[in-house]
């Protein structure tokens, strides 16, 4: 019986010991759960910073403009005489040389008119000879009468006969002058007829290529107040120009000699290059928008570009090489004022720096270091609207610049 009592006592002591062990394990588990919950809840309530690395790269500042491609020189070929087109010698895209015939009118009427003018010239020449003879005859008659009048002391011939002889001589001179003028007029008409016959053939004034042909064989062209256009010829298309419209807000940055890159719809994946050769002073106002034309010279030796193509151009006004750049959003970010953030910032800023969250004068960005933002003073350089060149102490390539923040749910 004593042994039974001792066994019960041992059993009772063992149960209490196990109970204490279980309670201890439970407390440890609860503590771990509490620590885990506190850690992750604290992590969930911390703000999440959106960052972008500071990079070293080239940066170009550009002005965007739109325009159309044009030949350097375009000539419209017309014809100065009226008639019916008998022959057309060139077509679209044909290369031509200066002086090369392009089209010819039916010249029957022009030749007839020229022949008539030449005949009239011969008549005028004959009239001139006749009037010259009449003038010589009138002059001889007048001289004979004067000799007789002087030898007779004025007795013979009468004064009336002398006056008539003088009048006849004067008329002969007048007729001679008129015939000379008629001869000059006839010569001019012959020259005009010959020139009209020459102009019945349209020729190219330059070396180039035919862009447009406005007429067909058999068509009648009438040269009246305005010379009708037959062809449009462009000079060497290996050199072209883009006339771009620059907004008045940007025109102050555009200068001669600046580099230009542009794209056309025909080759969306191809970039073409050019150079600004002129910024025109004259303005254009369209729907209240003021623009100025800039001329961009383009090398088209490959022949890919065509007149009239629309070009989306970017004029490089400034550029920086191998510079540290940061997104512009970094300049607009300011972290919230928190005790931990201020303590971290206070341990990392110079003595004259201001607390994080306080509005600062000048340029500054915030870098994310060990999960906490640090303010860094910088000097801004050129910007292309998305990135900005920066300079500053303790600014290294690859540092994380904070651009925005996503606040965690409470």
Q: Which CATH class is domain 73-107+203-235?
A: mainly beta
Question: Token pair for residue 304?
Answer: 């890919």
Decide: residue 368, CB within 10 A, 0-12 exposed, 13-18 middle, 19+ buried: middle
Distance CA 36, CA 31 (A): 8
What is the DSSP pairing of strand 259-264 with strand 95-96? unpaired
- Under DSSP, the state recorded for 253 is G
How far from 50 is each of 53, 329, 394, CA to CA, in Å? 10, 11, 21
- Give every strand in the sheet of 208-213, ordered side by side: 74-78, 229-235, 208-213, 95-96
> What class, spelled out in words, does domain 48-59+324-406 have in CATH?
mainly beta
The CB density around residue 332, as the number of other CB atoms within 10 Å, is 10
Q: Residue 189, Cβ neighbours under 10 Å: how many?
A: 18
For 55-112, the DSSP string reads EEEEEEEEEEEEEEEEES-EEEEE-SS-EEEEEE---TT-EE-TT-EEEEE--HHHHH
pLDDT of residue 18: 65
Phi first, then psi: give them for residue 13, nearest 5 degrees. Answer: -65, -40
Which pLDDT tens digit goes with each residue over 14-32? Answer: 555 666 666 666 667 666 6
Residue 224 DSSP label: S
Crossing angle for the helix pair 159-199 and 108-151, to the nearest 10 degrees: 160
What's the pLDDT score for residue 164?
Answer: 94
Contact 135, 176 (CB under 8 A): yes
Instruction: HSE, CB side, 13 Å, CA atoms: give it for residue 108.
Output: 4
Q: How far is CA 17 from the centre of its chain?
A: 94
Judge contact between 391 and 331, C-beta under 8 A.
no
311 three-class SS: strand
Q: Which residues make beta-bridge pairs with 49?
A: 405
Give the other-Cβ count within 10 Å of 292's Cβ. Answer: 20
Query: Residue 137: its pLDDT value, please?
Result: 95
Name the pTM for this structure: 0.62
The residue with tokens 């003018």 is 117
Closest CA to 63 of 332, 410, 316: 316
Task: State the pLDDT at residue 87.
Answer: 95
The pLDDT value recorded for residue 356 is 40
Mean pLDDT by 10 residues, the chain (410 residues): 46 57 65 52 66 90 94 92 93 94 94 95 96 95 92 88 94 96 96 93 94 92 82 92 95 95 95 96 93 96 94 92 91 71 45 41 81 90 88 87 76
CA 157/CA 154 separation, integer angstroms? 7
The greatest distance separating any two alpha carbons of the chain, rounded to the nearest whole angstrom, comes to 213
3-state secondary structure of 341: helix
- The top-level CATH class assigned to 236-318 is mainly beta
Q: What DSSP state is assigned to residue 270?
A: E
Answer positive or negative: Cα dihedral of 316, 72, 226, 185. Answer: positive
Q: How many CB atoms lie within 10 A of CB 352?
A: 5
């Amino acid at each position: 019986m004593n042994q039974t009592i001792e066994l019960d006592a041992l059993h009772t002591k063992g149960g209490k010991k196990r109970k204490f062990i279980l309670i201890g394990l439970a407390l440890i588990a609860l503590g771990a759960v509490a620590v885990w919950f506190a850690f992750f809840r604290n992590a969930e309530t911390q703000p999440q910073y959106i960052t972008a690395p500071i990079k070293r790269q080239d940066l170009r500042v550009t002005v965007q403009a739109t325009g159309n491609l044009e030949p350097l020189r375009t000539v419209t070929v017309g014809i100065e005489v009226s008639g019916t087109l008998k022959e057309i010698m060139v077509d679209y895209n044909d290369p031509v040389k200066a002086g090369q015939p392009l089209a010819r009118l039916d010249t029957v009427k022009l030749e007839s008119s020229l022949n008539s003018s030449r005949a009239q010239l011969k008549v005028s020449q004959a009239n001139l000879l006749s009037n010259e003879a009449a003038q010589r005859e009138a002059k001889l008659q007048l001289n004979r009468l004067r000799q007789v009048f002087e030898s007779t002391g004025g007795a013979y011939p009468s004064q009336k006969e002398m006056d008539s002889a003088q009048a006849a001589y004067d008329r002969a001179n007048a007729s001679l002058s008129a015939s000379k003028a008629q001869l000059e007029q006839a010569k001019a008409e012959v020259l005009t007829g010959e020139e009209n016959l020459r102009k019945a053939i349209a020729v190219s004034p330059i070396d180039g290529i035919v862009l447009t042909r406005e007429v067909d064989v058999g068509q009648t062209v009438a040269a009246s107040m305005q010379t009708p256009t037959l062809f449009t010829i462009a000079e060497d298309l290996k050199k072209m120009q883009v006339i771009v419209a620059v907004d008045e807000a940007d025109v102050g940055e555009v200068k001669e000699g600046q580099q230009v890159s542009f794209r056309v719809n025909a080759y969306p994946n191809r970039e073409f290059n050019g150079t600004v050769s002129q910024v025109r002073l004259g303005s254009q106002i369209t729907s209240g928008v003021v623009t100025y034309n800039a001329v961009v010279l383009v090398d088209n030796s490959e022949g890919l570009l065509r007149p009239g193509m629309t070009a989306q151009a970017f004029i490089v006004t400034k550029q920086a090489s191998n510079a540290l750049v940061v997104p512009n959003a970094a300049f607009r970010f300011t972290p919230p004022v928190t005790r931990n953030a201020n303590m971290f910032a206070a341990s990392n800023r110079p003595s004259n720096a201001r607390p994080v969250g306080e509005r600062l004068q000048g340029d500054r960005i915030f870098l994310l270091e060990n999960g906490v933002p640090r303010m860094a003073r910088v000097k801004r350089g050129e910007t292309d609207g998305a990135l900005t060149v920066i300079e500053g102490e303790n600014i290294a390539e690859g540092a994380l610049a904070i651009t925005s923040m996503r606040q965690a749910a409470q």
